[in-house]
Amino acid sequence: MRIRESIKAFSHNIRHVRLQGLPLAARHLLILAMLMITLAGGAIGGHLLGVFAQGACASGDQAYSVRWGDTLSGIAVRYHTTWQKLASYNHLANPNLIYPYQTICIPGKGSGGSGSGSGSGGYLPASQYVAIARQDASNAGILPNLFVRQINQESGFNPWAVSPAGAIGIAQFMPATAAGLGINPHDPIQSLRAAARLMASYVYQYGDYAKALAAYNAGPGTVNWAVRVGGANWFSYLPYETRNYIDVIMGW
């Protein structure tokens, strides 16, 4: 986005420069110099915007300098808190709009806005995982309410949950599935994000939220078989556990 705006500004500036009469090599050098000045100005402007976007942090707080590609939720995970608390503590009107080099204040233990994590990777209260699940669902483009119901059905938002079949953690991933997704199923933050993205991929694949839920619960192979054999009546060909799973989450 910044590069696009810089090029637009460069195009605007170059219109006001008379190049007629200059040798071709001189024209190219002039254009290149103006382009470099325009891009450098955009980078410096972004740096200054980040510098002045946030004042000094309170005594006892940690100061985090935003890097390119950072998100508030990612920063929150790093410091064992939530993006909502960081947004409130730093008075961010739009949590999705943070800038490189901006300072994000991480509340210290004595601050009223400190996170509920242990600071050593401890687990958060279930209510905070619900909030994180909603945000992850929204980021992935699926319905937050249904995703919260799904995780509640999977584990009751219990990061320690282990099923008799061997599914692990808050999102109840089988070890092989977790390995394929490149996550640690014992980590609730990783698991929630991966579960939301996996659900979004199933919704895209099947174009139907109920089929996506069936794929998450019983695997895509089971869904494909049910659709192939049952056609429009595919739901009846699912295992009872999967039908009940969908009924509870969808509220049928």
For residue 23, name the pLDDT band (cuts at 50, 70, 90).
low
Residue 226 φ/ψ, nearest 5 degrees: -65, -40
- Nearest to 203, CA basis, from 252, 149, 122, 137: 137
**What letter would DSSP give residue 237?**
G
Active-site residue flag, 154: yes
Q: What SS3 state is found at 252?
A: coil
For residue 40, name the pLDDT band (cuts at 50, 70, 90).
low
126-250: CATH class = mainly alpha
Mean predicted confidence (pLDDT) in 200-205: 97
The pLDDT, as a whole number, for residue 82 is 81
53-121: CATH class = alpha beta
Rounded CA separation 219/226 (Å): 11
Rounded CA separation 209/232 (Å): 15
For residue 21, name the pLDDT band (cuts at 50, 70, 90).
low
Residue pLDDT, tens place only, 131-187:
999 999 999 999 999 999 999 999 999 988 888 888 999 999 999 999 999 999 988
Catalytic residue among 154, 155, 195, 217: 154
Q: Among all chains, which residue has been given the structure tokens 């895509």? A: 220
For residue 37, name the pLDDT band (cuts at 50, 70, 90).
low
Domains 53-121 and 126-250 share a fold: no
Rounded CA separation 224/215 (Å): 9
Residue pLDDT, tens place only, 94-137:
777 788 888 888 887 655 443 333 333 456 888 889 999 999 99
Q: Where are the domains of the chain?
A: 2-50, 53-121, 126-250
Average pLDDT, the chain: 79
Residues paired with residue 168 on neighbouring β-strands, in sequence order: 162, 173
